[in-house]
Structure 1
Amino acid sequence: MATRTNLDLDTLRTLVVAHDLGGLAQAADRLGRTPSAISLQMKRLQDDLGTVLFRKRGRGLVLTEAGEVALTYARRILAMHDELLDTIQGGSLAGNIRIGCPQDFASFLPSVLSQFATLYPRMQVELLIEGNAALAEAIEKSRIDLAVVIGQEHRSAAQTVGQLDLVWIASSTFVPPQGQPLPLAVLGPQCAFRKCAIQHLEAIGMPYRIAASSPSLDGLQAALLGGLGITARTSLNLSEGLMFAASLYGLPLLGSLPVSLHRNAHLIGDAADRMATLLVEALKFLLAPRSKSEIPRKRHNGLAVVAAAGIAMHKPRSRVR
């Protein structure tokens, strides 16, 4: 029986790191090796697999079709390898890890925490549910270790994971007042959703007023259900009785906001890496494109509804601030 080739796990990990960072030079810098050592690893991997994994594109290299296959398997092999180590070694690892999350994503934490607790039963987890700007600041001041953040992608600790589509949300019984400014229900002044809504309304010259303000999502949804106004946010975790659409009542499209994972620069260790991985995987699943069946619970006739409600639509005008 012929002897089979055993692939080197460290070489597979280098392949993944090089791909994720965008090149062999970047991988060398991250892994603390010379570019020639990284190139030698990739050459050895091609020899072991008996195929070409890279091809030139401009001054750089990109994966061939075989390279893409190898990358997919490398991720799976490394995931199983790391999970085995976590399971065997994690049971004796003690310590604490501090994570933060905005209210919008709090519902996805139980599954993440359950998986983490299975791997690291002696680790203590501290949770902070806070606004996005406050979470990013807490990371920079080392008050927490990891944070899921909406917006704030310009921060040095941010790793963008995906995009969160924004929608307009209101009670199913809400009707915009005729000939009056659009009533908004919002969170505090630093809220990225609040800023986005106001920016888009001002861009089309639509008058508005802050009809209700709350420091919490529960308070905001209570205001919406009470018919006090309309808001801009994600469609995640909405209460029964609320409807949403990208252009509810013909209001302007809001686009999306980036969702990122922020990590304390001083955070190291297998448990921290595993928590970061679990958070990223859960976020990617949550942010995956939605099916058409999840589009608005109540449909409206676009601009016709706006006209019937008496909301003025104007061309954009400049404003002095």
Structure 2
Amino acid sequence: MQTLDLAVLRTLIAVVESGSFAAAARRIGRSESAVSLQLKRLEEQIGEAVFVRNGKQMTLTGAGARLVGYARRLLDLNDEALAVSEKSIDGTVTLGVPHDVAETWLPAVICGFRRSHPSATLKVIEGRSAILQSRLADGQIDLAVVLTATRPANALWSANLPMVWIGRSDFHLKKNEPLQLAAFDPPCFFRAAAIASLEGADIGWSIGHASNTLPDLWSAVSLGLGVAVRTPAAVPPGLTVLDGRRGLPDLPPLHVSLCGPPVEFKKPAVDCLRVILEECLAVSIHAAA
């Protein structure tokens, strides 16, 4: 017997209420392609089209309208069931996340945690993975999502995600000219991976733009100051993933890991956040991979 995924049903409701895949993606903190993929799989699961598409206009089919009604009821029941334990789940949880996660998957996590456990407080700290691991070891944060070359020893959950070159659609690697990179200052996992891949392919490089924030990095790439290496989770509008036909070398995968203390040391609120994080990361990474 098949079971409907509540996360997918939340995506369906977000599309219906916001009116488009793009608006729904911003609302739930996922990429537009991830939203499209979720709804495609939902249609395959129920064996019916959910929307009729006419250009940018989307209209619910009869089956889609009936499904939305069931989706709202299922989600309401889910929230009511979670509310049974609300009084016992309180306290403050501090979560550390890299910039990429903060701008893509984090909003859905925050929304889910606050809706399920309104008595608890969630504090979020952004930073680079190495710094987050250090703060986790010092007890300054409770959980951390990190991006690393190998699975960390303190990982509670981990998955592979590809790294990709991202640039303007008109980019082409020029012969006898160094490739201009847009990257964070070291230490930066993505910067190190880009340089290692270029040097392994005997391709010259230079830093065309150094940044400390992700919005600034994307702005530099949009202006043609360099190409960047990140994950394919959320490629900004106007930029594209640069495949092998552009002359760029392959990149290794990375590990996306949720790290924290052993189970026996966790507070109830920390464990609740861990469950929500694992669900959101699993769905988002599967859609982005």
TM > 0.5: yes
Change (3 A) 1:196 1:212: same
Read off the aligned partner of 1:87 and give its amino acid letter: A
Where 2:203 maps in the other structure, the secondary structure is: coil
Map of 2:87 onto structure 1: 91
Shifted more, 115-124 versus 199-208: the winner is 115-124
Partners in 1 of 2:149 and 2:177 — Cα distance?
34
Percentage identity across paired residues of the two chains: 30
Partners in 2 of 1:237 and 1:289 — Cα distance?
11
Aligned partner (choices 280, 283, 288) of residue 282 of structure 1: 280
Map of 2:260 onto structure 1: 263
Cα RMSD over matched residues? 2.3
Map of 1:183 onto structure 2: 180
Task: Please give the per-residue CA displacement for 1:148-204, whole angstroms capped at 9, x wherever unaligned.
Answer: 111164543223421111111111233444421111111121111111111111112
Cα offset for 1:250?
Answer: 2.0
Change (3 A) 1:104 1:258: same
Map of 2:222 onto structure 1: 225
Aligned partner (choices 141, 156, 166) of residue 159 of structure 1: 156
**Unmatched segments (≥5 aa) in structure 2:** 1-77
Change (3 A) 1:267 1:97: farther
TM superposition score normalised by structure 2:
0.66
Map of 1:235 onto structure 2: 232
Map of 2:138 onto structure 1: 141
TM superposition score normalised by structure 1:
0.60
Read off the aligned partner of 1:234 and give its amino acid letter: T
For the pair 1:100 / 2:87, whether they are aligned, the reply is no
Task: Please give the per-residue CA displacement for 1:27-84, whole angstroms capped at 9, x wherever unaligned.
Answer: xxxxxxxxxxxxxxxxxxxxxxxxxxxxxxxxxxxxxxxxxxxxxxxxxxxxxxx998
Read off the aligned partner of 1:254 and give its amino acid letter: L
Read off the aligned partner of 1:124 and give its amino acid letter: T
Contact in 1 for aligned 2:151/2:255 (Cα 8 Å) = no
Partners in 2 of 1:247 and 1:90 — Cα distance?
50
Contact in 2 for aligned 1:164/1:256 (Cα 8 Å) = yes
Change (3 A) 1:160 1:125: closer
Change (3 A) 1:234 1:248: farther
Contact in 2 for aligned 1:174/1:229 (Cα 8 Å) = no
Change (3 A) 1:140 1:155: farther
Contact in 1 for aligned 2:171/2:246 (Cα 8 Å) = no
Change (3 A) 1:156 1:88: same
Partners in 2 of 1:131 and 1:97 — Cα distance?
19
Map of 2:271 onto structure 1: 273
Partners in 1 of 2:138 and 2:288 — Cα distance?
36
Change (3 A) 1:276 1:129: same
Cα offset for 1:242?
Answer: 0.7
Where 1:162 maps in the other structure, the secondary structure is: strand
Partners in 2 of 1:165 and 1:152 — Cα distance?
11
Partners in 2 of 1:235 and 1:154 — Cα distance?
19
Contact in 1 for aligned 2:165/2:229 (Cα 8 Å) = yes
Aligned partner (choices 194, 197, 216) of residue 197 of structure 1: 194
Cα offset for 1:99?
Answer: 0.4
User: Could you say which structure has the greater relative contact order, defined with CA pairs below 8 angstroms and 6 or more residues apart?
Assistant: 2
Partners in 2 of 1:112 and 1:154 — Cα distance?
22
Change (3 A) 1:183 1:244: same
Map of 2:244 onto structure 1: 247
Partners in 1 of 2:245 and 2:100 — Cα distance?
20
Task: Please give the per-residue CA displacement for 1:110-161, whole angstroms capped at 9, x wherever unaligned.
Answer: 2222221222211111101111111111111111000111116454322342
Change (3 A) 1:170 1:218: same
Contact in 2 for aligned 1:102/1:130 (Cα 8 Å) = yes
**Unmatched segments (≥5 aa) in structure 1:** 1-81, 292-321
Q: Which contiguous aligned blocks of 4+ residues in structure 1 show a shift greater than 6 angstroms?
A: 82-85
Partners in 1 of 2:106 and 2:279 — Cα distance?
12
Cα offset for 1:229?
Answer: 1.0
Read off the aligned partner of 1:201 and give its amino acid letter: L
Partners in 1 of 2:230 and 2:100 — Cα distance?
9
* Number of residue equivalences: 210
Change (3 A) 1:161 1:124: same
